[in-house]
Structure 1
């Protein structure tokens, strides 16, 4: 690993994570949040804000919003809004040009839209969330940052992100890991030239669990299906691309993707990235051992 590695958290990172969870409508059924979360949030916010959010797309401009959040020196949404309001369009172009050559069509409009969006989302939703969430994320980042000091970097990234691996591609100088709550169990990965940021599922939950934690139960459920077991057995031979898995399974791309996604979210696979591009999958044997341990642990508690 030739790039540097860091773990960071501040409330500003989670506010964009919560926004991402809401606007990424195709992922609502996959999230650890209650199935009705998006509907509950819609009842909390004004029709005007709901209309704005309905028009937000996970596109190039949204990726640049993540970049601005990363570049902001402040800790929370108030800091972010004041910082962004104080930037001219020219200053934003200059700041962002160090991280790529993609820009909004109208930087001034993009800035003003972002300011309004964050102000309203914070006022109508984010400031009402359980303080436990932010406290848990802060503690998660502190503990992982401390563990990083004596860890093998590759093993550290794998453990922290539940199975991600980032190749040292040309130009990459820094990988920043940021724990997130709202978009669990999915990771959000964006590459900005010399910097790749990964918002990873922190595996913390606001609800008390009398049963297994959602992640632990997900691990067990992920292997309780014949096709997924076949995928794991195939990957035991070595890393494979998505197309190679499709050909081996003789299933449609859509069905194969669904099986792989369930295994990924459970941490049963290692997903290998070059920048934002996912290249291959491999078997994560440590997760198989964890499944055995979790089942026995649950049974023996009785």
Structure 2
């Protein structure tokens, strides 16, 4: 099945994704800023906002997929307050329609929670934190989305997806019909993927421009840091021969699930691995061009 790719840049994805990161804190040690960002945010939040986030932490992180699905159905492309107003107007039947349209497995209790807890929490999140950070990252999102749109005429959809996500290859034999690529800043350098009934939303990470030419690029620092670990070097050595499954890699290297996921996230963000995705990671392979890029990027920086 052929892929149809659409570039969708909106601060609304940043609203939902940043709040999901704050609430659940999954991958927080892989996200730049990490625990320090949590501390900075909580200095800005009200007691009510912190309490609501604590309440939501006991529920599945996958419930945020409903909000991302609603973002794909938004009436106002870029205006967060109008989007939040739209969510507040939605009835239980409206939410049920979204859930059925996107093939999400949730019930009335989840719908009630979205209406009674998630939406008020997002309003507080926006008012106390997000709207003050918009000037920091929104210009970079727009610039990156425009760059990806220019690339659409120069490469096929699979190549564009791999470049945007730094190594994700979608399995086109599955049921995916549309891929929506949306840039995000808060999750950098991690990707966040929502797999729906007939589409996939891929929130790919971007960096801000460097302050000066003397500042080492974040991408170069990730590439160097990723290699400064024995386990990650062993992973690269293993997958250089043939692609492997996650289970095979974990068993061969005697790694627990969390440890294996952490190392793969670091290697993926550095551009050293290619992951084949059909709703979950099927296989992991070496991305040869990532190793070649290290030499080029390093030379470009030290010998401008």
Task: Report if aligned partners of 2:24, 2:61 keep a CA contact under 8 Å in 1.
Answer: no
Residue 188 in structure 1 maps to residue 192 in structure 2: yes
TM-score, reference length from structure 2: 0.90
Q: Can you give the 5+ residue segments of structure 1 that lack an aligned partner in the other structure?
A: none
Partner of 1:82: 85
Task: Note closer, same or farther for the CA distance 1:253–1:63 as it changes in structure 2 (3 Å cut).
Answer: closer
Instruction: Give the distance between the partners of 1:222 and 1:269, measured in 2 at CA.
Output: 11
- 1:279 pairs, out of 279, 282, 285, with 282
Deviation at 1:48, TM superposition (A): 0.9
Deviation at 1:108, TM superposition (A): 4.1
Task: Note closer, same or farther for the CA distance 1:225–1:85 as it changes in structure 2 (3 Å cut).
Answer: closer
Task: Note closer, same or farther for the CA distance 1:130–1:175 as it changes in structure 2 (3 Å cut).
Answer: closer
Task: Report if aligned partners of 1:133, 1:206 keep a CA contact under 8 Å in 2.
Answer: no
- Provide runs of 4+ in structure 1 moved above 6 Å: none
Task: Report if aligned partners of 2:66, 2:98 keep a CA contact under 8 Å in 1.
Answer: no
Deviation at 1:271, TM superposition (A): 1.4
Return 254-263 or 159-168, whichever deviates more.
254-263
Instruction: Give the distance between the partners of 1:262 and 1:98, measured in 2 at CA.
Output: 34
Deviation at 1:92, TM superposition (A): 2.2
TM-score, reference length from structure 1: 0.91
Residue 36 in structure 1 maps to residue 39 in structure 2: no
Task: Report if aligned partners of 1:132, 1:206 keep a CA contact under 8 Å in 2.
Answer: no
Partner of 1:211: 215
Task: Report if aligned partners of 2:184, 2:206 keep a CA contact under 8 Å in 1.
Answer: yes
- 1:263 pairs, out of 253, 264, 267, with 267
Q: Can you give the 5+ residue segments of structure 2 that lack an aligned partner in the other structure?
A: none
Instruction: Give the distance between the partners of 1:209 and 1:25, measured in 2 at CA.
Output: 33
Deviation at 1:207, TM superposition (A): 5.9
Instruction: Give the distance between the partners of 2:209 and 2:49, measured in 1 at CA.
Output: 27
Aligned counterparts, 1:27-66, within 5 A = 27-33=27-33, 35-57=35-57, 58-66=60-68
Deviation sequence 1:134-192 (CA, Å, 0-9, x none): 01101111110121122122221111111111112443210111100001111111111
